[in-house]
């Protein structure tokens, strides 16, 4: 049985607003990579909860790590970083109509909360952004074939924040606390 996070919705809304604010001016906001990690993990949990329990077979966290915001030639030390967390939701739905309905429900729930659909890629790929922020969510719907389950994958990226660099203790501790070694 999945628990409801309805009481946490106001907190998540505040977290999303903070996420949007810290992304546009990382140095001025004082936001840390730990803040970014906490916020995107809350959004990932909320994503998992937005689908009706009857539509979900299982949820798996498939990634939880930091990544550089800028190419190496612009930021060799990886000082500007963001947190990325991913979840794969296995659905009970079968067929294009079934997964399409679950996928649209999820997209609509985020756009109703101020996220904007910025890109629609063919084959069930939608990217949402938060106005005034470089935070984003990529949703990918995959129709199961040959008995494989249908899934929706969500990749949630925070805004960029100033860090001590890719090889810093800060990054190492945050990645170690999630079991990530990338």
What pLDDT score was predicted for residue 4? 35
Q: With respect to residue 93, please indicate whether it lies within any of the assigned structural domains.
A: yes
Q: With respect to residue 46, please indicate whether it lies within any of the assigned structural domains.
A: yes
Between 14 and 150, the more confident residue is: 150
Q: With respect to residue 103, please indicate whether it lies within any of the assigned structural domains.
A: yes
Tokens 């985020």 -> residue = 110
Q: With respect to residue 1, please indicate whether it lies within any of the assigned structural domains.
A: no
pLDDT at 148 over 90: no
What pLDDT score was predicted for residue 122? 66
Phi, psi of 20 (to 5 degrees): -65, -40
Phi, psi of 99 (to 5 degrees): -70, -35
- Domain hosting residue 78, numbered range: 6-176
What pLDDT score was predicted for residue 29? 60
Tens of pLDDT along 45-102? Answer: 988 889 888 889 999 988 899 999 999 999 999 999 999 999 999 998 877 877 888 8
In this prediction the pTM is 0.75
Q: With respect to residue 146, please indicate whether it lies within any of the assigned structural domains.
A: yes
* Number of domains composing the chain: 1
């Amino acid at each position: 049985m999945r628990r409801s996070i309805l009481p946490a919705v106001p907190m998540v809304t505040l977290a999303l607003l903070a996420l949007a604010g810290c992304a546009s001016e990382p140095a001025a906001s004082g936001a840390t990579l730990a803040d970014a990690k906490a916020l995107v993990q809350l959004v990932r949990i909320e994503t998992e909860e937005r689908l009706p329990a009857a539509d979900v077979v299982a949820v798996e966290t498939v990634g939880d790590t930091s990544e550089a915001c800028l190419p190496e030639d612009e930021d060799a030390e990886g000082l500007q970083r963001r947190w990325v967390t991913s979840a794969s939701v296995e659905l009970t739905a079968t067929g294009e109509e079934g997964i399409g309905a679950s996928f649209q429900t999820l997209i609509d729930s985020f756009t109703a909360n101020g996220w904007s659909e910025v890109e629609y890629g063919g084959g069930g790929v939608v990217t949402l952004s938060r106005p005034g922020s470089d935070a984003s969510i990529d949703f990918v719907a995959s129709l199961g074939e040959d008995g494989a389950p249908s899934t929706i994958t969500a990749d949630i990226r925070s805004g960029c924040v100033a860090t001590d660099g890719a090889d810093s203790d800060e990054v190492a501790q945050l990645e170690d606390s999630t079991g990530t070694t990338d």
